[in-house]
């Protein structure tokens, strides 16, 4: 049975039993505490916890998930994967234990011909919580399992909680018995791999507090509404139903494994170490495919770093199998074809996915080439000294070469040495601290989300700001220092929840509004507006005058100038996006944005830097759209209707069933967008592109000033031009020529200085030749030149000296200090190389002393480092080596 067929049968079964089919949420979790969707229940947490009223009494889904905490186990066990699919059925105060147990047994044991999964009852085992007699009785009532195949286990395995105060309850797990050839008898209680857990039924029954550990907490009582949360591992069921040994051999994964084996000229099953690498490749390619399909792109931070690590582990594994060149163009199309039946988007968006993946591979192959030399040197030194690779080196590799520290650890482990991980962590933390030093935390510490549960239960906050800047409302709740409060007093910073608001909460790339909240006897400045919980708008305010109390009347007042600037910037973002696609083509997807009054930032999928001409064209098209005074129309409609109209959904964004469509000039720019906008494009005023840069191997970023800020920028540049024309005493039309002439004169002067320095060095040749000595059968010239202009000066001198030493075995090693860094050049003639003296080995030896890396060819090589004071020591080490 194909994995996509199991997927379909699951949804069909529960839909026929009154469950609302909920499409898989994105792998990018809405939960701010989670980087990814790590379990099938994550999208339903607001409903299961009671934070948000459930829109349906029962639901079912097959949820895409990513977990990387066990990444080192991938490929080594039958069921550890980074990407997996969790099928679930959920009840929000509707059916409870009996319904969950009867549904599970029916689906598992109903024959394939009748739409079930066709498991034999004699292959199934069940565990229940040791004190849950109700579940035990229900299993006996609704299944044909004998008593000995229903086992009781304790809290550590069969009791579920979030690890925080809140809902919790016992669970019941269903296992498949692989057979006696896979392990010992005795059932799941043996904890043997023979018994594969396929389905977990969680009975969310109690409210717990004082949670000290997984097994130590206090049960406060039963929940007023009991919920069901179940999860069946689709890959686990697939490998059982397909009769294969593990999840890497199922139909959605095995094709990639086979293609990787073919590229590497390996036979799967012939060698354990190779098999593990092939499984890692198959798993990580699929995970990369699905992550990029959900809008994640490789980067050095957050989700992008996880994706980068996965992709680079693929490249690393392929190299370990003997494939040195690029392989993603062979592997990703295979994964696409294996996954498209269940997830059509991977085929529809494959051009974008492929560009992101292939560019990352190309970048990493360059990284491997440039960083491997440094890493190899560090590993060799550590091995020779019986120590470890320094944390400083690991940080250098990460920060300069883009080596994931995990790769450094893997390479070091293979060589039998360790890495000073603590020093690396310290340096990484120092870097993060420096990055944050200049950024004042605007958001501050937000209260625990449970604080908003009761407030959200009062209903959604109505946003009225599309049509008005002021609105009369009522204070529903106040949060001070993370806890509910009845009042907020003058001077305090507090969070206010109102019934309605005209203030925009930060979302969709648009920054929060600025403004005031006023009432009888109080005035508060709005510091921030956010949506910490779906449907709830929270205003962070500083109380300027008086006291704010719950139930008080309150008027929200948006700063009109700020809102005008913000709408100009948001509409300007749409104009720039349309211009980008006009110039670069439809593959230039927007991948992120941020806009506020006077400024917009737009990230888009593109690999190459934009030329000056291209940037000017994009800027001109955007401003021509402003001059054209296009009408801006917003409409609300169903998602499918909007897509049929050609409205652009931004890649990786999540949308509900009802969406807002923003047209600028009709179909010229038609996007799904909930933000605030101008009423005509002329109101944007002006767009001035100020920068274009890379934010990843497949992403570029445009930054632009908008409206009055764009005008001010042009005015400032005009003032600079006036100062230059005045100072250089040329008209504006001749300014560029004058600056170019000055640049040419400077280059000529630099060439003259370089020639003089080279001539000065050349005058030292006789003196240096006189210092040559006989070592180990070769005439050896070792010398430090002191301060030099560049490494080229040292190289030129070494070649001249090697020539003058004649045809007998001769070795030249010169060192110098260029721009504060030591540089070493080693040169050997043919006779010396016949004697076994190689320039590359000498340069590498010197570089090790200098704290850097080096190498090259046998006849000419270069090394470098960080400490010029050790040049003498480096030359002495070479003298000792050659004289040995």
| Mean pLDDT calculated for residue range 296-308 | 87
> What is the DSSP track for 669-702?
EEEE--S---SBGGGG--EEEEEEEESSTTEEEE
Fold of 563-715: 3.30.980
| Mean pLDDT calculated for residue range 28-34 | 80
CA dihedral sign of residues 508, 509, 515, 521 = positive
| Mean pLDDT calculated for residue range 854-883 | 90
574 is in an annotated binding site: yes
| Run of H or E including 838 | none
pLDDT tens digit string along 640-649? 898 888 888 7
pLDDT tens digit string along 235-264? 999 999 999 989 999 999 999 999 999 999
Question: Does residue 198 have a pLDDT over 50?
Answer: yes
Query: Which pLDDT score is estimated for 322?
Result: 92
What pLDDT band is residue 654 in, cutting at 50, 70 and 90? low
> Comparing 287-296, 467-476, 566-575, 757-766, which segment has the lowest mean pLDDT?
757-766
CATH architecture of residue range(s) 449-558: Beta Barrel (2.40)
> What is the DSSP track for 722-748?
HHHHHHHT--GGGHHHHHHHHHHHHHH
pLDDT tens digit string along 495-511? 999 999 999 999 989 99
65 is in an annotated binding site: no
> Comparing 55-64, 172-181, 815-824, which segment has the lowest mean pLDDT?
815-824
Residues contacting residue 273 through CB under 8 Å, at least 6 positions apart = none
Q: Best-predicted range by mean pLDDT among 155-164, 677-686, 791-800, 815-824?
A: 677-686
Q: Which of 618, 588, 587, 591 is nearest to 602 (CA)?
A: 591
577 is in an annotated binding site: no
Q: With 0.75 as the threshold, say if the pTM is over it.
A: no
Query: Which pLDDT score is estimated for 70?
Result: 78
Tell me the C-alpha distance between 375 and 389, whole Å. 9
Angle of helix 391-400 versus helix 405-415 axis, rounded to 10: 130
Residues contacting residue 216 through CB under 8 Å, at least 6 positions apart = none
471 is in an annotated binding site: no
What pLDDT band is residue 120 in, cutting at 50, 70 and 90? very high
Extended strands (E) in 111-155? 124-129, 150-153
3-state secondary structure of 524: strand
CATH architecture of residue range(s) 3-246: 2-Layer Sandwich (3.30)
Query: Which pLDDT score is estimated for 7?
Result: 96
Task: List the Cα angle 144/147/150 in 5-degree steps.
Answer: 85
Question: Does residue 653 have a pLDDT over 80?
Answer: no
pLDDT tens digit string along 480-493? 998 899 999 999 99
Tell me the C-alpha distance between 797 and 127, whole Å. 79
Query: Which pLDDT score is estimated for 640?
Result: 85
Query: Which pLDDT score is estimated for 445?
Result: 44
Tell me the C-alpha distance between 327 and 613, whole Å. 35
Distances (CA, A) of 824 to 52, 785, 827, 831, 864: 67, 10, 10, 21, 6
Q: Which of 141, 145, 134, 196 is nearest to 171 (CA)?
A: 134
pLDDT tens digit string along 372-427? 777 778 888 887 777 788 888 888 777 666 676 777 887 788 778 888 888 888 88
Q: Domain 764-883 has what CATH class?
A: alpha beta
Question: Does residue 440 have a pLDDT over 70?
Answer: no
Residues contacting residue 713 through CB under 8 Å, at least 6 positions apart = 688, 690, 705
Question: Does residue 43 have a pLDDT over 80?
Answer: yes
**Residue 851 region by backbone torsions, left for phi larger than 0, else alpha for psi between -120 and 50, else beta:** left
All structural domains of the chain with their residue ranges:
3-246, 252-437, 449-558, 563-715, 764-883
Mean pLDDT of all residues in the chain?
Answer: 90
3-state secondary structure of 480: strand
pLDDT tens digit string along 129-140? 999 999 999 999
**Percent of the chain whose predicted confidence (pLDDT) is above 90:** 64
Query: Which pLDDT score is estimated for 412?
Result: 81
> Comparing 218-222, 422-426, 837-841, which segment has the lowest mean pLDDT?
422-426
| Mean pLDDT calculated for residue range 187-191 | 94
Give Dmax over CA atoms of the chain in angstroms.
102
What pLDDT band is residue 555 in, cutting at 50, 70 and 90? very high
Same fold, 3-246 and 449-558: no
Cβ neighbourhood burial of 509 (10 Å; 0-12, 13-18, 19+) = buried
Question: Does residue 449 have a pLDDT over 80?
Answer: no
Question: Does residue 442 have a pLDDT over 60?
Answer: no
Q: Which of 559, 637, 649, 651 is nearest to 605 (CA)?
A: 651
pLDDT tens digit string along 581-625? 999 998 888 888 999 999 999 999 888 899 999 999 999 999 999
Residues contacting residue 172 through CB under 8 Å, at least 6 positions apart = 101, 126, 127, 128, 129, 132, 135, 139, 158, 200, 201, 203
Percent helix, strand, coil in the chain (nearest 5)? 45, 25, 30
């Amino acid at each position: 049975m194909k994995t996509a067929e199991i997927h379909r049968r699951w949804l069909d079964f529960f839909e026929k039993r009154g469950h609302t089919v909920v499409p898989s949420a994105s792998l990018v979790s809405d939960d701010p505490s989670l980087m990814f969707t790590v379990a099938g229940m994550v999208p339903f947490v607001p409903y299961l916890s009671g934070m948000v009223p459930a829109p349906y009494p029962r639901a079912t889904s097959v949820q895409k998930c990513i977990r990387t905490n066990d990444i080192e186990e991938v490929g080594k066990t039958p069921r550890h994967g980074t990407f997996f699919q969790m099928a679930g059925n959920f009840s929000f105060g509707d059916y409870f234990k009996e319904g969950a147990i009867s549904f599970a047994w029916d689906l598992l044991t109903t024959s394939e011909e009748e739409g079930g999964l066709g498991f034999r009852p004699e292959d199934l085992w069940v565990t229940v919580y040791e004190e849950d007699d109700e579940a035990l009785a229900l299993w006996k009532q609704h299944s044909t399992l004998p008593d000995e195949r229903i086992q009781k286990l304790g809290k550590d395995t069969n009791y579920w909680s979030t690890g925080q105060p809140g809902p919790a309850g016992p669970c019941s797990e269903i296992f498949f018995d692989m057979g006696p050839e896979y392990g010992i008898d005795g059932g799941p209680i043996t904890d043997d791999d023979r018994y594969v857990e396929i389905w977990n039924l969680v009975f969310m029954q109690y409210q717990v507090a004082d949670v000290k550990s997984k097994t130590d907490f206090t049960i406060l009582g039963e929940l007023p509404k009991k919920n069901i949360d179940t999860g069946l591992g689709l890959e686990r069921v697939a490998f059982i139903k397909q009769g294969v040994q593990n999840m890497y051999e199922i139909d959605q994964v095995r094709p990639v494994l086979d293609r990787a084996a073919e590229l590497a000229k390996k036979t799967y099953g012939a060698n354990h170490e190779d098999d593990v690498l092939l499984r890692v490749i198959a798993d990580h390619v699929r995970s990369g495919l699905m992550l990029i399909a959900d809008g994640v792109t490789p980067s050095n931070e957050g989700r992008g770093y996880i994706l980068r690590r996965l992709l680079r582990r693929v490249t690393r594994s392929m190299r370990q199998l003997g494939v040195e060149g690029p392989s993603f163009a062979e592997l990703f199309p295979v994964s696409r074809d294996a996954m498209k039946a269940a997830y059509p988007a991977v085929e529809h968006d494959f051009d974008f996915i492929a560009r992101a993946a292939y560019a990352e591979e190309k970048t990493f192959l360059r990284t491997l080439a440039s960083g491997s030399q440094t890493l190899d040197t560090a590993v060799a030194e550590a091995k020779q000294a019986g120590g470890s690779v320094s944390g400083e080196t690991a940080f250098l590799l990460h920060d300069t070469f883009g080596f994931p520290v995990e790769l450094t650890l893997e390479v070091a482990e293979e060589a039998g040495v360790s890495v000073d991980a603590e020093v690396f962590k310290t340096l990484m933390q120092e870097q993060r601290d420096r990055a944050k030093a200049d950024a004042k935390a605007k958001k501050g510490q937000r209260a625990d989300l449970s604080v908003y549960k009761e407030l959200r239960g009062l209903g959604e906050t109505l946003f009225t700001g599309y049509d008005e800047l002021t609105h009369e409302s009522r204070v529903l709740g106040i949060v001070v220092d993370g806890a509910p409060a009845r009042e907020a007093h003058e001077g305090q910073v507090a969070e206010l929840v109102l019934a309605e608001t005209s203030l925009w909460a930060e979302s969709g790339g648009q920054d929060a509004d600025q403004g005031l909240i006023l009432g009888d006897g109080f005035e508060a400045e709005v510091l921030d507006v956010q949506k910490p919980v779906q449907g709830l708008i929270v205003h962070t305010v500083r109380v300027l005058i008086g006291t704010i109390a719950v139930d008080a009347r309150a008027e929200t007042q948006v700063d009109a100038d700020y809102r005008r600037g913000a709408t100009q910037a948001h509409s300007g973002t749409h104009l720039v996006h349309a211009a980008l696609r006009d110039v670069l083509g439809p593959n230039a997807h927007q991948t992120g944005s941020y806009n506020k009054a006077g400024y917009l930032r737009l990230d888009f999928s593109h690999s190459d830097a934009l030329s000056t001409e291209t940037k000017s064209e994009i800027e001109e098209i955007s401003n021509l759209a402003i001059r054209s005074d296009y009408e801006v129309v917003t409409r609300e409609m169903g998602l499918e209707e909007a897509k049929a109209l050609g409205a652009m959904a931004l890649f990786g964004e999540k949308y509900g069933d009802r969406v807002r469509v923003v047209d600028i000039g009709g179909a010229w720019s038609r996007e799904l967008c909930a933000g605030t906008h101008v009423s005509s494009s002329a109101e944007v005023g002006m767009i001035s592109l100020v920068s274009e840069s890379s934010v990843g191997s497949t992403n570029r970023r445009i930054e632009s000033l908008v409206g009055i800020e764009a005008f001010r920028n042009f005015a400032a540049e005009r003032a600079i031009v006036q100062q230059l024309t005045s100072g250089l005493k040329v008209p504006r039309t001749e300014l560029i020529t004058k600056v170019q002439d000055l640049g040419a004169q400077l280059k000529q002067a630099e060439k003259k200085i370089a020639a003089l320095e080279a001539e000065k060095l050349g005058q030292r040749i006789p003196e240096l030749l006189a210092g040559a000595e006989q070592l180990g059968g070769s005439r050896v010239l070792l010398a430090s030149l002191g301060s030099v202009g560049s490494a080229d000066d040292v190289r030129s001198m070494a070649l001249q000296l090697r020539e003058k030493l004649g045809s007998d075995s001769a070795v030249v090693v010169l060192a110098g200090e260029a721009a504060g860094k030591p540089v070493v050049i080693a040169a050997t003639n043919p006779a010396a190389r016949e004697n076994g003296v190689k320039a590359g080995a000498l340069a590498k030896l010197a570089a090790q002393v200098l704290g850097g890396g080096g190498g090259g060819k046998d006849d000419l090589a270069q090394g470098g480092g960080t400490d010029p004071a050790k040049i003498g020591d480096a030359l002495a080490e070479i003298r000792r080596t050659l004289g040995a």
